[in-house]
Amino acid sequence: MNNPALALSIFLLALGPLPLTANEEDISTIRALYAKFENAVPVRKKHLKFGSNAEPIAGSLTTTTYPGELTMVHLTYAPGDHEEVTQTFYFGPHGLFFAYESSNYWKFATGRQEDGSTTTDTLAEIRFYFKDGACIRQLHRSLTVGTRQAGDLPLLIQRVENQTQKPDGKANAAFHRALALRGITTSREATRFFNDN
């Protein structure tokens, strides 16, 4: 090939999307866009419930649109008897830019806990920062306590430092789930989506 730029372009396309690295300017831009949701007045809000006790997953999905091409998709579901998951996806004029996931679950403890409980509750949070369809930062933190302290988990986890993780399959799954959920408009579509995924 006589055109090295064309050869390089074909090579890079063959590799697929390359991971982007976060710089503080990108993170500041994402945080500024996120802050616009704080005081924004919704233009439209659509809430729907999906699934039932007979379905593998039941929950609720709320899509809220705001001025300036801002959309928030909030999902809460129970994938089983022991866990509840909340995911919130934030879209701006250029697509998904931030996702937050919270998972709260309990399990039997191997021994009696300090608070006398025989079960433990865990709260885990993951934050995904996206730019141009790629996760540029992934943060995680979690905390496990005896079940008698479970009501304090939302306050206690604020003291736990977020750990930076290399973006992984969870980021990719969150990205694709966000895009799919944004297009769901009926309870039936949501139920089908979770039954199939």
For the chain, 197 residues long, the average pLDDT of each consecutive 10-residue run is: 43 42 87 93 95 80 95 91 91 96 90 80 96 95 89 93 93 95 92 85
Q: Does residue 1 lie within any of the structural domains?
A: no
Q: Does residue 142 lie within any of the structural domains?
A: yes
Q: How many domains does the chain contain in total?
A: 1
Nearest one of 100, 160, 162, 165 to 136, comparing CA atoms? 165
pLDDT at position 10 is 43
pLDDT at position 155 is 94
Q: Does residue 125 lie within any of the structural domains?
A: yes
What pTM was computed for the model? 0.84
pLDDT at position 169 is 92
Q: Does residue 155 lie within any of the structural domains?
A: yes
Residue type, 93: P
Q: Does residue 102 lie within any of the structural domains?
A: yes
Q: Does residue 145 lie within any of the structural domains?
A: yes
pLDDT at position 119 is 86
CB 174 within 8 A of CB 87: yes
Residue 143 belongs to domain spanning: 43-196
Give CA separation, 59 vs 103, 124, 145, 167, 175, in Å.
Answer: 14, 19, 25, 27, 19
DSSP character at residue 176: H
